[in-house]
Chain A
Amino acid sequence: MVIIETKNLSYTYPGGTKPSLNDVSIKIKAGEFALITGSSGSRKTTICRCFNGLIPHFYKGELEGEIRVADKDTTKHPTFEMAKEVGLVFQNPENQLFALSIEKDVAFGLENLGVPREKMRQRVDWALKLAGIYDLRERSPHEISGGQQQRVAIAAVLAMQPKIIVLDEPTSFLDPLSAKKIFEVIHDLNRKLGITVVLVEHRLDLTAKYADHIIIMDKGRVCQDGNPRTILGAESTRLIGVGIPKATLLFQMLAKDGLKLGSVVPLSSDEIAQSLLEAIKPHD
């Protein structure tokens, strides 16, 4: 089942002369872990804003083409309705927390929806536990690290129990270790709860292995769309300036020099380590 679908979507910001999105047609299936990548300024954030109707409701501007998310036309449903279906996590963790305590922040969306208090409490605790920050629930956002703040943002979105979570470069403000933890949390949500994940990220070393689907954007257009191993393994992808995982690069280099390490293109260091172990294992 397709949960996000755009057809020939084009968008121009108000006052803009050239379209920021150009004829974007993508399909993301329910339960998928989709990775959107592309160089800086390739309009990844812009496409995310379309997924919950911030474009066109909040940003105005001109939107052409079709977009359906969770069976809803986002242009006809206000963002607060889409919020129940799609949760957005933004780049800067600091600017998406408003309350004085973490649990209050996680409750914010539910309060807005008018969820009764008992049920709210349950859902807040559930989301806090999933994000691994239950023990921090009474702290103020200023007292916790960026990585923890970003987990609060994830919990805040989770509490609303959306079908889709869209994360726009959630780790660009974080250190590598915190980033790794965030990716693990996201991966868990996808695998255990079956939530559709759309992750915008250019650090593919840590994330490509989780992806079922990769979309590469360039200057507001989709330039590659499909299976991560096929796309990242292809010679042409390297030329667009996408951060191909180092393991994949090594695999390609070795292949060029005549050493083919198994039939599957590796996307992470543990995968290539596996292939290497296979290769050096004495055959009988």
Chain B
Amino acid sequence: MSVFDGLKYRKVSSPIHDLDPRIKFFYVCAIFVGAILFWTILPLLILFAIQIPFVLLAGVKREWLRSLRGTIFLAAIIFLTNLIVRYFASGGALLVTDLEFAAAMTLRFIVLVGSFSVFFLTTSPDHLGLALERTRMPYEFSFAFTTAVRFVPVLAEEAQTIMDAQKARGLELEKGNFLKRIRNYIPVLVPLIVSAIRRSLELAEAMESRAWGATKKRTNLYILRLKQGDFILFVITIVILMVTVYVRIYIDVPGLSQFLSGVS
């Protein structure tokens, strides 16, 4: 189950969880734009810091840190690649600014992952489905999305059951080389797929029986309504956007080493 634990949706309530997913998405996009606009550490550090109160308010510190920790490997690759490219580009010399540049690119990546992670950690799939419905997308898409999320834990449990059953009959999953191991999973996959197909037929039957497709003008039990918090976040996001664009255009942002030497 452990692999799927991260996908399992847990219902929590916090000021951030209650925000409108559309506004939250706008905020994530603003951070995204900000991160793309800057090539130096300082502003990226600020963009990173902006997210911390957000995370704390949502009470998802542990999950957030875990998702950041998950990026360490990729972050290291980004850092090294940048360093190596810079090294060869400058003809075999490595300056402090090159180090700074590589660090900035890594930080940019971490900012992007961090902001998306906050979004997904604090947005319930139900909300996401509603937001999807609000776009011009056909209802079938958002229905497929929420139903898929609904069945993730069910299928995960089923996969586990099948694996246990096959192991009890002598199947050894962890044996052999890479290809062999993949082949070991066939006796698990086949029943899983067969059962998923049967399940989808039963689902279709149950949907039909509950008037699926009765009218084009479907209604919804929940609606997204903008609340005070959403307006606050909206204003914050606009400010972030304006400041980043202004700074990008009119201010020559110093590098970290320049900045530090300027201060002292």
Contacts and interface: CB of A to CB of B under 8 A. Distances in A.
A112 B210 contact: yes
Interface string B211-236: 11111011111110000000000000
Contacts of B126: 99-101, 104
B211 A104 contact: no
A238 to B, nearest CB: 33
A96 B150 CA distance: 12
A118 to B, nearest CB: 10
A101 B11 CA distance: 10
B233 to A, nearest CB: 24
B220 A117 contact: yes
A104 to B, nearest CB: 6
B151 to A, nearest CB: 9
Interface stretch (B40-48, B163-171, B176-184, B197-205): B197-205
**6 nearest interchain CB pairs?**
A96-B206, A107-B221, A109-B210, A80-B214, A83-B211, A95-B202
Given A95-B203, A100-B129, A117-B219, 16 more contacts: A52-B209, A58-B205, A80-B213, A90-B209, A95-B199, A97-B150, A98-B143, A99-B126, A100-B149, A110-B219, A111-B221, A112-B211, A112-B212, A114-B219, A124-B221, A160-B210
Task: Give the secondary structure class of B's interface.
Answer: helix
Interface of B: 9, 11, 124-126, 129, 143, 146-147, 149-150, 153-154, 199, 202-215, 217-223
Contacts of A113: 211, 214-215
A99 B147 CA distance: 6
A111 B149 CA distance: 20
Given A101-B126, A104-B221, A83 B214 contact: yes
Given A80-B214, A110-B219, A117-B220, A98 B147 contact: yes
